[in-house]
Structure 1
C-alpha cells in the first residue's frame, strides 16, 4: 500500500518525525494522560498509528538517518553529566544480569522451535538468527543471516515480525516500571530516587516538573553539540580504521575474536571516548547545561522511528506465526530475567534494561534508560550491552548446531 508521504519525501518525513516527538512531549507534560503514560509510549503510539493508517512508509532513508546519526549523537550528549562513580558500581551487577537474560533468550528459542517447527519452514535457521539477534542486536542479525543464508522470503518475513514484536516489547518494558505492584515486588530504587528529586507543584505532573526551564546559553548548546558530533566522528572513523587492520579469520581463536570485536565496536569506542573527555575535563562537561535536553529530544525522535515499521497488515499477510515465535522468545527472556532478578535482588529498572539490551541491543536499552530518567544506568547498559555483540554470533551458531541436528 502506498503511503500518503512517500519514502523519498525527506522533508515531509523529517517534519512528521519531529512533530510526532514534539506532540509526545507536549502530551506527556500537559495532559492527565501524560502523567500516567511515559512520553516514549506516546511517541511509539503516534508512529504506529501513522504507519498502519498509511500516512508514512514503513521504511525510508530518514529513518536510517535517525539510526545512523541522531542516536549516536544522543549518547555523548546524555553521558556528559553522568555520575562516573555510578558507572563503575553498576556495570558489574548489570553484566551478571545480562548474561542470565541471554540464557532466557536461548530457552525461549528452544521453546518456540518446539512449538512451531512443524509450521514454519527453515525455522532452525531463523531460530539461530533470532537467538543471535536477541542476545546482541541488529549487527548479529545481519551477520547470522549472511552466514546461514535462509531464503529471501523467510528473512524478509522475519524482519517484519521482528519490527512489530520490538514495538510491542517496548510497551511491556516501559509499562513494567510504571506498575505499583511490580515496583513493590521487585523494588525500584532508580524510580524512587527520581521521584524524591522531583518536586511536583499543584496542577503539574512529574515530567513537566523534571523538565522545568533552566539557564541554557548559546555557548552551552554550541559546545555540547560540537563536542558530541566530534566524538561520534572520531569513534566511528577509529572503528572503521581498526576493523581494517585487526582482521579475524576462521582460524582465529575465540578469545582473540571477542577482543577484536570489543576493541572495534563503534558504540563502545564512542562511550569510552566520552568517558575519557569527562575524566579529563570534568568541570567543562558538568557545566554543559542543555546537553540532557538535546540528547533526550534525539531519543524521542528515535522512539518515533522505532514505532514506524510495526505494520500490522504486513504481519497478517506475511508472518503471523513468525511474530508468535519472536514474541515467545522475548517473553521467555523476560520471565527468566524477572525470576532471577528477584532472586538476586535486582531492581525492576535493571531487569528491564537487561532484557532490552538482549532483545534490542545496547542503543535501544540506553534509549529506554534515558526516556525513563535512569541516567546513572545509561553508561553501564551501553557498555554491558556491547558484550551481546560479541557473544551473540557464538550463541546463534550453537543454537543452529543443536536445532539442525533435530
Structure 2
C-alpha cells in the first residue's frame, strides 16, 4: 500500500519528472552535490519516497518510461555523432578507446567467472555492465529493458555501480595529477592550466529552436517505431533454432534495441551534414535517462540492496580495475599520453559526458570535443557488446 495509488497516473508522472528536475538542479547549483552524479541523486530520491510508502512500487506510469522513454533516448543521444570528424581528427584516441573497451570485456568475463556462483542473475548483470561500461547509461537502460532482470537486482546493481564509479573517478583524478604517472606515461604540454568546473559548465545554454525539438523527437520516435516493427517482423520470419549459435545469431539480428542502434547510426551517416537540425537532442536524451533512473530506483528495497550491493560492488570494481590496468599497459606500449589514457578509461566506464567534464576540470580543453565524440561511439557498440557478453556468459554459466 502507498499514499499515492498506482492508477493515479498524472500524479506519478509529476513525481517522476519533478524528481529528475530536482536531481539536475541540485547537481548543477549546490557545491555539496557537485561530486555526486545527477543520476545517483535521482535514484536516491526515488528510493527515499518508495521506501517511505509515498509512491507505489509498480504502476502503469513506470511501464511507459520503460516502453517509450528509454528507446527514445537512444536516437536522441546519437544524433550529434560525427563519425567522419572522429576518423579525421581523433583516430588515435578512437583506437585507445576501442582497446579500453576490449579491456572492459576482459574484466566482465573475469569478474563473472569469479562470482557466478555467488551473485544471482549475474549473466544478465554482466551484459548490462558490459554495455554500460562501453557506452553509458543509455546502454544500461536498453540492456535492462531487453534482459529484464529482477527489480531488486537491477536497483542493487545501480547502487553498486554508482558507488564504484565514484571511487573510480577519484582514482582517475588522482592519476591525472600524479607526478609519478606523468613521468611514466608523459603528458601533453598544452594541457597544463587547471580550471575548476562542474556539470553546470558542461550543460550550458545552447541555441535550440522549436524546429530542433520537433525534428529531434519526430525522427527519434520514427526510428523507434520502424526498429521495433522490423524486429517483430523478422522474429516472425526467422523464428528460433535448436542450434545454440544459430539461435544466438537470430537473436542478435532480431533484437529491437540493436536494430534501433543500427538504424540510428545509419541515419546519422546519411544526414550527417544536417545534424544541426537536431540541436538539443543530447539534452533531451539525457533528460530521458534521468527519468529512467528515477523509475529504476522506485522498486529498490533497502534491505535487498544491503544484501546484494556489496558483492555487486566487488563485481563492478573488478571490471573497472581490469579496464584501468589493461588500458595503462596498452597506453605504455603504444606511447599514449596520460591525458588520453585517463579520458579513454573515463569514457568507457562513465560515458562521454563525464569524460568531457573531467577534461574540462583538468584544463584539457583540446581533448573535450574529441573525447565527447569518441565516447558517443560507445553508445553504438555498447548494446552489441552487452548482448554478446550475455550470450557468452550463458554458455559459461
**d(CA) in 1 for partners of 2:34, 2:275:** 31
1:24 Cα deviation after fit:
1.5
Query: What SS does the corresponding residue of 2:320 show, helix, strand or coil?
Result: helix
2:221 aligned with 1:218? no
Match 2:251 to one of 227, 238, 261: 261
2:114 aligned with 1:111? yes
Compared CA separation, residues 86 and 384, structure 1 to 2 (3 A): farther
Whether the 8 Å CA contact 2:71–2:224 is kept in 1: the answer is yes
Whether the 8 Å CA contact 1:133–1:140 is kept in 2: the answer is no
1:209 Cα deviation after fit:
3.5
Match 1:234 to one of 216, 226, 237: 226
1:335 Cα deviation after fit:
2.5
**d(CA) in 2 for partners of 1:323, 1:41:** 15
**d(CA) in 2 for partners of 1:232, 1:65:** 14
**d(CA) in 1 for partners of 2:356, 2:9:** 27
Match 2:286 to one of 296, 309, 316: 296
**d(CA) in 1 for partners of 2:357, 2:16:** 17
Compared CA separation, residues 107 and 281, structure 1 to 2 (3 A): closer
TM-score by length of 2: 0.73
Compared CA separation, residues 247 and 178, structure 1 to 2 (3 A): same
What is the alpha-carbon root mean square deviation over aligned residues?
3.7
Whether the 8 Å CA contact 1:140–1:393 is kept in 2: the answer is no
Report matched runs for 1:104-183 at 5 Å: 104-112=107-115, 135=130, 137-138=143-144, 141=147, 159-174=151-166, 176-177=168-169, 180-183=173-176
Whether the 8 Å CA contact 1:40–1:371 is kept in 2: the answer is no
1:34 Cα deviation after fit:
4.1
**d(CA) in 2 for partners of 1:140, 1:46:** 25
1:330 aligns with: 316
Counting matched residue pairs gives 351
1:264 Cα deviation after fit:
2.1
Report matched runs for 1:57-76 at 5 Å: 57-76=56-75
Report matched runs for 1:18-97 at 5 Å: 18-85=17-84, 89=91, 94=97, 96-97=99-100
1:140 Cα deviation after fit:
7.5
**d(CA) in 2 for partners of 1:132, 1:275:** 21
Whether the 8 Å CA contact 2:223–2:260 is kept in 1: the answer is yes
Report matched runs for 1:264-275 at 5 Å: 264-275=254-265
1:15 Cα deviation after fit:
0.8
**d(CA) in 1 for partners of 2:392, 2:57:** 31
Match 1:309 to one of 299, 309, 316: 299
Moved more, 208-217 or 233-242: 208-217
**d(CA) in 1 for partners of 2:78, 2:235:** 25
2:6 aligns with: 7
Compared CA separation, residues 273 and 229, structure 1 to 2 (3 A): same
Compared CA separation, residues 259 and 347, structure 1 to 2 (3 A): farther
**d(CA) in 2 for partners of 1:280, 1:208:** 32
Whether the 8 Å CA contact 2:156–2:304 is kept in 1: the answer is no
Moved more, 384-393 or 215-224: 384-393
Moved more, 369-378 or 2-11: 369-378
- Runs of 5+ unmatched residues, structure 2: 132-142, 183-187, 332-339, 359-367
Report matched runs for 1:243-262 at 5 Å: 243-251=235-243, 254=245, 256-262=246-252
1:131 Cα deviation after fit:
5.1
2:325 aligned with 1:339? yes
1:230 Cα deviation after fit:
0.7
